[in-house]
Every structure is written in C-alpha cells, then in structure tokens.
Structure 1
Amino acid sequence: MAERMGGGCACGRVRFEADVASFDAYLCHCRMCQRASGNVSLAFFNLPQTDVRWAREPDWYPSSPIAERPFCSGCGTTLGFRFKDGSEKMDLTVASFDEPGRFKPTAHFGTESMHRAWLNTEGLPEQRSDEYQLLQERWAKAGAAPPAS
C-alpha cells in the first residue's frame, strides 16, 4: 500500500505530495543530470506522474529536446525530471522529500559519466554542521535557525 509523503523546495514556495509504494531509489550520473544540478549525480525516485500532486505548480525547465525538469524559480531547487512526451512516469529528487532518509539507492543510471571517486567516501574526515561553531554563529547573527536534518 502506498504512503503519502510530502516534499518541496528550500524556500517552501513549491510543495508536493507523492504516493510512495516503495522506497527504492537510484542515482543518475548522466551528463544532462550533472549539468542540470551542478553535481556529480542526482538521487531520484521514480513514480507515476499521477501519483504526484503539486500544491503549487513548479516552474519547468526544458533541459534538452526530450526532457524537462521541475524547479522552484524562487530558490532554484531542482525537484525532478520527466520526458516531454511518451512516459507516464517521472522522477522526483530524493532530497526534496521531507524524509529523504527513508529512501535507499538500489541502482545506478548513466554510468558512462559516473565519477567513481565520489561513490565510496567511507573513511574521509567527517564534520557535523551542527557542531561547526562558525556556522552556528552565522545562523545566530542572521536571527535564523539552520534547516532541520
């Protein structure tokens, strides 16, 4: 049975609800996703477009002749991917969900552009942002709180 989950952009302007039947997600490494996100890969959750309800319709960027991407023009958050025609499904970015930690990567796509050095980062030094004093001071000076984890 599907579970309804919420999500949205960084500023809260664009929100969605999605019916999630499985928490299987994937990483896309294709150059189109790398360029669109400015990152080495995108974590996506694939689902039928009819299982997504937008509280406020996102803006759509035609990222190629065959695809478009929902995003928030207010804060720039990348929200997903869909083919312009011929598909009943779409992808939502895992991190745009309110509870992204519930999703698990089960596959890689676009591996011809994969940057393998970024796959296994186990053993690299780690720093918690909530324990980084200078960052906490900046949030306090701004009169704001950091985003919840």
Structure 2
Amino acid sequence: MEGGCQCGRVRYVAVIEDDDAYLCHCRMCQRATGGVSIAFKNIPASSLQWLTEPDWYQSSPIARRPFCAACGTPLGFAFLRNVENVDVTVGSFDDPARFRPVHHYAVESMHEAWIDTRDLPRMRSEQNEGVIKRWMDACGKTPD
C-alpha cells in the first residue's frame, strides 16, 4: 500500500499483511497530532520504504516521529534503538478504509467522551454550503 503527507512531498510504500490497527491515547501522541488519539498501523520496519525521506522529530529520549515539514502531516512513530516495528499513521495511507482498530493503547490518557460518537448528529462535507462556496471561489472545485 502507498501513502504520504497532505502536500505529497513525502511518500512511502508499505507491505501490509493484515487489517489490524490501533488507537494510541498517550499524551505524547495527543500533543504530536493535536488530537485526542491517533490511529496507527504497526508494521515491521523492513516492510516500510520511504520513497521520499520524511523529516524527523525526536519526540522523547526513546523515540522519533516522521513528518512532513512542508505541510505538517504526522506520518508515524519509531523507537530510536532496536527498531523492529514502526507505527504508520492510518490517515496517511492513500486508502485507509481497510484498517480496523483492534485495541486501545495508553488508556490512562483516554478521553472517554470521544470514543463512542455514533449517536452524534452527522453532516456530510457537501452539506456545508459556506465551505463549498469557499472552495469554489478559491479554485472552482471541491477537494477529493
């Protein structure tokens, strides 16, 4: 499977053997992404090939995170030593629909109110007339 950042500067190819993914709720991931959790696909490091090398941020004494310095997309997580596996952000895959969460990690920092949202009202992007107008005025089309 292929993936990359929002602007397309950083790209990768990964050999994926199953659909299992997980949600990390640790405070470092919350701060690194600005979200309440991050969806990761854990894969062997040997299964990931960077087509364009990402930028790296050493987020702790034991780990670093690949990202794109041009658009800011978080791309994953990797330990600094004895790197057998790496985590790739599910949202950075070109087609992330196949992945399914199979567990939560770092639940001591989990924000429970954000876990079960199935009963919240839903709105499709094309229903937001103000945003559609902004896209049309800016470039004559809506994003993919």
Q: Same fold (TM over 0.5)?
A: yes
Counterpart position of 2:87: 91
Distance 1:68 1:116 in 2: 27
Counterpart position of 1:147: 143
Distance 2:141 2:31 in 1: 30
> Where does structure 1 lack aligned partners over 5 or more consecutive residues?
none
Which structure 1 residue ranges, 4+ long, deviate > 3 Å from structure 2?
144-147
Counterpart position of 1:25: 21
Counterpart position of 1:112: 108
Counterpart position of 2:50: 54
> Where does structure 2 lack aligned partners over 5 or more consecutive residues?
none
Aligned residues: 144
Encode CA deviations 1:73-93: one digit per residue, 9 max, x unaligned.
Answer: 000000000001122110000
Alignment pair present for 1:36 and 2:32: yes
TM-score normalised to structure 1 length: 0.93
- The CA RMSD measured in Å over matched residues stands at 1.0
Distance 1:56 1:144 in 2: 30
* Identity across matched positions, percent: 55
Residue of 56, 62, 69 corresponding to 2:65 = 69
TM-score normalised to structure 2 length: 0.97
Distance 1:112 1:144 in 2: 46
Encode CA deviations 1:99-125: one digit per residue, 9 max, x unaligned.
Answer: 111100000000010001000001111
Tell me by how many angstroms 1:130 deviates: 1.9
